[in-house]
Amino acid sequence: MSKWVKIGKRLPEDDRQVIAYSGNASSHSIQLASYHDNEWWWTRSIKFGGVTKWMNFPEEPKDFEYWMNRLRNWLNSRKQNAQQASDWMTGRRSINAQLSKKPVFYRDASGKIMSGLPEHLPAPYGFQKIVCNNVFEAERFSELQRRQERVEHRAEQERRSSIEVPMLDEIRSERRTLIANARNNLNRDFLLRAEQMSANRRPPTEYERESFLHAEGYEQGR
């Protein structure tokens, strides 16, 4: 949309026809005029005095499709710029980027997922082969496998705890009995040191594990 321009700020090109405003609030006139020879003119021979501001002709109205294309181009540029900024800041590739070496997973009838062999090799009997063609698919199945492994790991830790914790408690009880009945200070000091080290040792079942694809581990600094 065109805007009024004060003549003290800028003048139009010579002989270019524009919309000129002359007068004040009580008496004014708006005419088609041009500027040349330091004067405003209605025609080549009739001057138009008292001009204080002017504006260019409004552009030709555009149709609906023109503005829709402008909007689409603008949105696409915003999306592209946002993706490029995200890729630059995180170092990550586009989520739909095609992979030259495709990760392969196997899934059995129960839904359990495990990492598979290279793409050209068939899946074992009873397993479905899943070939990940892009980053999105690879990260999706990798995350599903990690969730499954977390559940299995907790179950295994609980099973180990049910066996190992009573055994460790029995060993500590026996050690305390030996400390109380030690034959001399040397034996007692040795057993006290062993008891202290045992108390400060982290229980063997209290640890977590998590697996990643090689590319994921590299991106996350692992």
Residue 136 lies in a domain: yes
Q: What is the pLDDT, as a whole number, of residue 111?
A: 84
Tell me whether residue 67 is in a domain.
Answer: no
Q: Do 114 and 201 fall into the same domain?
A: yes
In a domain, residue 82? The reply is no
Q: How many angstroms separate the CA atoms of 49 and 39, rounded?
A: 8
Residue 87 has a pLDDT of 58
Determine contact, residues 91/219, Cβ cutoff 8 Å.
Answer: yes
Question: Which of 6-20, 172-186, 192-206 has the weakest average pLDDT?
Answer: 192-206
Q: Looking at the predicted structure, is the pLDDT value of residue 182 above 60?
A: yes
Average pLDDT, whole number, for the chain? 78
User: How confident is the model over 186-212, as a mean pLDDT?
Assistant: 80
pLDDT tens figures, 21-34: 887 666 677 888 88
Q: What letter represents residue 72's amino acid? A: R
Do 194 and 114 fall within a single domain? Answer: yes
- Does one domain contain both 30 and 128? no
Asked whether residue 153 is domain-assigned, the answer is: yes
Domain carrying residue 37: 5-55
Place of tokens 């190992």: 164
Rounded to 10°, the helix 135-180/185-200 angle is 160
The tally of domains found in the chain comes to 2
Q: Are residues 41 and 108 in the same domain?
A: no
Q: What is the mean pLDDT of residues 61-72?
A: 68
Based on the domain organization, do 41 and 144 belong to the same domain?
A: no
Q: Which residue has the tokens 């000091």?
A: 189
Residues 115 and 33 in one domain: no
**Whole-structure pTM over 0.85, yes or no?**
no
Do 191 and 108 lie in one domain? The reply is yes
Residue 19 buriedness (CB in 10 A; 0-12 / 13-18 / 19+)? middle
CA angle 127, 130, 133 (to 5 degrees): 170
When pLDDT is cut at 50, 70 and 90, the band that residue 97 belongs to is: low
In a domain, 166, yes or no: yes
Same domain? For 29 and 133 the reply is: no
209 shares a domain with 114: yes
pLDDT of 221 over the 60 cut: no
| Residue 63 located in a structural domain | no
User: 85-89, 165-169, 209-213: which has the highest mean pLDDT?
Assistant: 165-169
Residues 45 and 137 occupy one common structural domain: no
Is 96 a member of any domain? no
Give domain status of residue 193, yes or no.
yes
Q: Assess whether 113 and 187 both reside in one domain.
A: yes
pLDDT digits (tens, 9 = 90+) for 125-180: 888 888 888 878 888 888 888 888 888 888 888 888 888 888 888 888 888 898 88
